[in-house]
Amino acid sequence: MIRIPLCRLDEIPQVGARGFTVPTASGPLDLFVVRFDGLLRAYVNRCPHRGTPLDWEPDQFLDPDTGEIVCATHGARFQPADGACLGGPCRGRGLEPVAVELEAGTIWYREPPP
């Protein structure tokens, strides 16, 4: 199993997100980690509408008022807890989850088995 350290937990605000690119067997993978309500989730940084990155500036993935994940291109909205589409052009298509784990204060990417 391949694990790659991403960052320390305290490098992401208690409600916030951060983007990363990790090497995988199939090439570089752009992902982002979301921190909210004491939870961590991670998703591929690709909108299911047109496949563009979600952030409008580096590490800016969340609506500061609602905490929802927002696509910068056309405004699709996604639930941080499970990446489900909440509205907009995503039309029911959610974000692709990525496995991460927290160990001793460090967030790790875990590559799934082939």
DSSP state of 64: T
88 binds ligand FES (CB under 6 A): yes
Bridging pattern class, strands 3-8 and 69-70: unpaired
19 binds ligand FES (CB under 6 A): no
50 binds ligand FES (CB under 6 A): yes
Q: Which residue's CB is nearer to ligand FES, number 6 or number 85?
A: 85
**Contact window for ligand FES (CB under 6 A) among 19-27, 66-74, 91-99, 106-114:** 66-74
Q: Which residue's CB is nearer to ligand FES, number 75 or number 112?
A: 75
**DSSP assignment of 32-62:** EEEEETTEEEEEES--TTT---S-SSTT--B
Cβ neighbors of 11 (< 8 A, separation 6 or more) are: 18
Q: Which residue's CB is nearer to ligand FES, number 48 or number 109?
A: 48
Residue 56 and residue 33 in contact, taking contact as beta carbons nearer than 8 Å: no
Which residues contact ligand FES (rule: CB under 6 A)?
A: 47, 49-50, 52, 71, 73-76, 88-89
